[in-house]
Amino acid sequence: MGVSYKILVVDDDEQVRNFIVSLFSNYGHSCETAKDGREALEKLKESSFDSAVIDIVMPVMDGITLTRELVNSHPDLPIMVMSGYADEHSTGSAMAAGAREFTKKPICNEEFILRFDKMMRDRKGEQELVALSLTDELTGLCNRRRFFILTEQYLKVAIRKKKRWLLLYMDMDDLKWVNDHCGHGEGDHALIALSNILKKTFRESDVIARMGGDEFAVLLEATDEGDEMIITRLCENMRDYNAKVSHDYKLSVSVGVAQFDPEYPISIDKLLSKADALMYAQKRRAREILQRGRNAGVETRG
């Protein structure tokens, strides 16, 4: 048996509703029903669904109007519309409203399921393409585009709920040295290792992204723990990795931390610029310390 879906069946004819529910149950799907558009909207407020199958002609709110409402309020919900009318106007109106599939009544069992399955396969393919376009291919983290999409949403919520957030902007140290002396394959391995350390350090609810090259960003809600403890935990996880793995280099990062204050909100671009400046200030201090060591005759890696 294939994937199981939760489906909202909307039709004013009880016999038709029961028939469709029975048909879907034969294929392992579960259903809830509504007798008109208004009741369907109430059902969607109470629960989430993987798809909706909607009749066109219904009292209170017809299927075309309901489809338009759902496309606006639930744009990711695949909708299949049914009609007992055979004219092309019904099909055109349904598709114009945002339906993905159309089937005629009386229902032909095999054709109905084939059309439904095609609709769901197409939707899955679209979701996979979107996920690929928003994911960094090497590390599996969010890419820069997805980071900005998610961060804009999170900061809007932060303003509404008066929550403080922290943005960590990181630059992996010495990636150029690793690429030049150990090869670009090892450089990729180092980037993947760092991404795994970030996943271990931060929560699934935090936004972790590779912004490009050797730069990473993490957006997380501020807690009583404080940013110093967060950086300490990151450094500990990095030390554990370096102790277990033998390389000609040690994995390390320079980090800048900027706070988003909902009382004085700033754009994500300004927040990034602030964290970026702090990160480069740390990197500059580290280079000054390294240079002083060289001047004092301390042997270091060049």
pLDDT of residue 132: 67
| Superfamily name with CATH number, domain 6-132 | Response regulator (3.40.50.2300)
CATH code linked to domain 144-295: 3.30.70.270
Residues 9-38 have pLDDT tens digits of 999 999 999 999 999 999 999 999 999 999
Q: What is the Cα–Cα distance from 300 to 302, expressed in whole angstroms? A: 6
Closest of 103, 117, 108, 98 to residue 29, by C-alpha: 117
DSSP 106-140: SP-HHHHHHHHHHHHHHHHHHHHHHHHHTB-TTT-
Taking only the tens place, the pLDDT of each residue in 156-176 is: 888 888 889 999 999 999 899
Mean pLDDT for all residues in the chain: 88
What is the pLDDT confidence band of residue 295, given thresholds at 50, 70 and 90?
low
Residue 264: CB atoms within 10 A of its CB come to 6
Residue 153 carries which side chain, given as an amino acid letter?
Q
Instruction: List the domain boundaries for the chain.
Output: 6-132, 144-295
Express each pLDDT in 50-91 by its tens digit. 999 999 989 989 899 999 999 988 988 999 999 876 555 567
- At 125, list the tokens: 């393919």
| Confidence tier at 302 by pLDDT (50, 70, 90) | very low
Radius of gyration of the chain (CA): 27
pLDDT in tens, 185-233: 999 999 999 999 999 999 988 999 999 999 999 999 887 777 788 889 9
For residue 254, count other CB atoms closer than 10 A to its CB.
20
